[in-house]
Amino acid sequence: MVRRLIALCAAAALAIAAGCSGDDPTAGRIPAPTASATPTPSSIIHTAPSRATPTTPPRVEPEVACGGNPFDPKKLRAYNPDGPAYAGRSIHLSELVNLDFADIYTELPREWNAKLTSTPGAVQLLICEWRDETYRSRTVDTCDYESTDDSRPTAELVSARYRYRVFEAKTARQITTFTLQGSLNGCPASTAGGVSDKYYQRVDSADLAARLKPFVVGPARR
């Protein structure tokens, strides 16, 4: 009888132990840490901040660089800011800009004209030309034309004076200024847009070259 009680007690103890464990193979183990949403240092991708690609500002129109018409010193802009400075002793390539939109233009010598070289971006001097509105013109000749309706339209040819300003293309710094009298017939050879009532004498290219030569040829003048 005693042995039977001992056996029953042992069986009961085993049943209780099994019931507590629930036959769970993971019972009593320390749970593994759950994965965190925060990335580990080795998984972080570092992206370098983007940098804007440097661009060269577009060259301004020569009329704008000259200060407009009428001339306004507050509107001056460097014509060729990325180009060479006005320096050295050789020919200083130049551009001539007429701001009164004449039908006949004064021209620079070919070897001075930056537009006619293989390196137009090497322009050092911007030469700006305006007709002097303060000058009192007088009639010096008549421009005669023919038309398809047998009429003979005419226009006055009047005297004129021109003001020039020479700027360093890189900085818009004024190098010199001067005036020249027109001496050439300013009647345009053709009038596709119709005959104007008035045309102006123009400056002889040789006169302009003579006045500019000390600044264009030889040592740069300050």
Residues contacting residue 81 through CB under 8 Å, at least 6 positions apart: 57, 170, 171
Q: What is the pLDDT of residue 147?
A: 76
| Rounded average pLDDT over 110-128 | 94
Q: What is the pTM of this model?
A: 0.71
Which residue would you say has higher pLDDT here, 182 or 38?
182
Better pLDDT: 138 or 192: 138
Residue 88 has pLDDT above 70, yes or no: yes
**Confidence category of residue 152, pLDDT binned at 50, 70, 90:** confident
Q: Which residue has the higher pLDDT, 204 or 24?
A: 204
Q: In the structure, what pLDDT confidence band is assigned to residue 30 with cuts at 50, 70 and 90?
A: low
